[in-house]
């Protein structure tokens, strides 16, 4: 995983230098912090996404809503049932390989699913965000399944593939709105994994394009708070509130476990009093 190349810096330099105050972005790192180990991560016990904000989603939701992917899976199932399926090395089309990968994922054949997804990835057009996200989600589902079964190496390999797809997409200079969507998916992904510095990085990247987005400012605050960056988290919490967080989302910062590390500060108490939460 390429982010591990930054591990030495992560251990020896103050990561606060990678983040900036809400007023300017000049000290945010141009590279994300290192990610860590997928299978060894710990997630929050109480989560912002559980507070009714309507923000974020796991991979299962967009997969279930992806009409093209569902159609590809149905066609794959028909080929399997009729005995017409081809082995991965003979697949010629992206959607055919993607559908087979999804079919075998549902069937519990992660080995075959991974092989077909590798073919789909090789045929992926990185200008097609929906196609990129389809591969990204399916790799993540494979990683989640392997993790749940205690297959650490397999989980790590699948997550690295998902990460590589996202990195390659972002390296191709997509339109700002599409880049923001990918950063959002990565932000929620790393949030769920418990890699809060990396999640904060991606949520902050969205603010570059959507500086008035109270929800993403709040997610920067939440992930920084979970990472122990108290002062910066308070700055972004104040920004989110000023942008109208409480009007736009049904969230109560006073009940959000992500912010527990902020509550004993004077700045948090002042915000709670000013915004009545």
Q: Where are the domains of the chain?
A: 1-54+195-277, 66-172
pLDDT at 25: 38
185-203 mean pLDDT: 88
Largest CA distance in the chain: 68
66: left (phi over 0), alpha (psi -120 to 50) or beta: beta
pLDDT at 250: 84
First-to-final CA distance of the chain: 41
pLDDT at 8: 28
Query: For residue 53, how many other CB atoms are within 10 A of its CB?
Result: 20
pLDDT at 29: 53
173-199 mean pLDDT: 90
Confidence of residue 70 (pLDDT cuts 50, 70, 90): very high
Least confident of 178-192, 229-243, 254-268: 178-192
Instruction: Tell me: pLDDT of 235 over 60.
Output: yes
More confident residue, 10 or 266: 266
Do 41 and 194 touch, CB atoms closer than 8 A? yes
Do 162 and 134 touch, CB atoms closer than 8 A? no
pLDDT at 26: 37
Query: For residue 157, how many other CB atoms are within 10 A of its CB?
Result: 17
pLDDT at 50: 43
Q: What are 8-59's pLDDT values in tens digits?
A: 223 223 333 344 444 433 345 555 554 443 333 333 344 444 433 444 455 6
Q: Is the dihedral of CA 153, 155, 156, 160 positive or negative?
A: positive
pLDDT at 61: 64
Dist. CA 132–CA 200, nearest whole Å = 22
Q: What are 87-99's pLDDT values in tens digits?
A: 999 998 999 999 9
Do 14 and 231 touch, CB atoms closer than 8 A? no
pLDDT at 17: 36
Beta strands per DSSP E along the chain = none
Do 100 and 91 touch, CB atoms closer than 8 A? yes
Dist. CA 61–CA 48, nearest whole Å = 17
**Considering the chain, what percentage of its residues have pLDDT values greater than 70?**
78
SS3 84: coil
pLDDT at 58: 57
* Burial status of residue 39 (CB atoms within 10 A of its CB: 0-12, 13-18, 19 or more): middle
pLDDT at 45: 41
Q: What are 98-134's pLDDT values in tens digits?
A: 999 999 999 999 999 999 999 999 999 999 999 999 9
68-72 mean pLDDT: 91
* Among the listed residues 162, 221, 156, the one whose alpha carbon sits nearest the alpha carbon of residue 191: 221
Confidence of residue 193 (pLDDT cuts 50, 70, 90): confident
pLDDT at 243: 96
Dist. CA 228–CA 230, nearest whole Å = 6
């Amino acid at each position: 995983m390429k982010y591990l190349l930054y591990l030495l810096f992560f251990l020896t330099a103050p990561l606060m230098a990678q983040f900036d105050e809400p007023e300017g972005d000049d000290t945010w790192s141009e590279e994300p912090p290192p990610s860590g180990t997928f299978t060894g991560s710990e997630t929050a016990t109480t989560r912002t996404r559980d507070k009714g904000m309507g923000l974020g989603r796991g991979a299962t939701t967009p997969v279930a809503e992806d009409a093209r992917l569902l159609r590809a899976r149905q066609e794959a199932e028909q080929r399997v049932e009729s005995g017409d399926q081809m082995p991965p090395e003979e697949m010629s089309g992206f959607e055919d390989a993607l559908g087979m990968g999804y079919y075998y994922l549902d069937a519990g054949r992660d080995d075959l699913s991974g092989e077909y997804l590798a073919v789909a990835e090789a045929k992926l057009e990185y200008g097609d965000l929906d196609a990129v996200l389809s591969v990204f989600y399916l790799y993540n589902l494979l990683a989640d399944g392997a993790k749940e079964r205690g297959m650490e190496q397999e989980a790590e390999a699948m997550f690295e593939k998902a990460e590589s797809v996202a990195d390659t997409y972002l390296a191709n200079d997509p339109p700002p709105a599409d880049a923001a969507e990918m950063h959002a998916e990565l932000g929620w992904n790393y949030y769920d994994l418990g890699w809060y510095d990396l999640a904060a990085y991606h949520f902050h990247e969205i603010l570059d394009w959507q500086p008035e987005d109270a929800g993403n400012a709040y997610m920067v605050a939440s992930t920084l708070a979970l990472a122990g960056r108290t002062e910066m988290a308070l700055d972004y919490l104040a920004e989110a509130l000023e942008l109208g967080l409480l009007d736009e989302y049904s969230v109560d910062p006073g009940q959000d476990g992500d912010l527990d590390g902020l509550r004993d500060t004077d700045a948090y108490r002042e915000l709670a009093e000013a915004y009545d939460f």
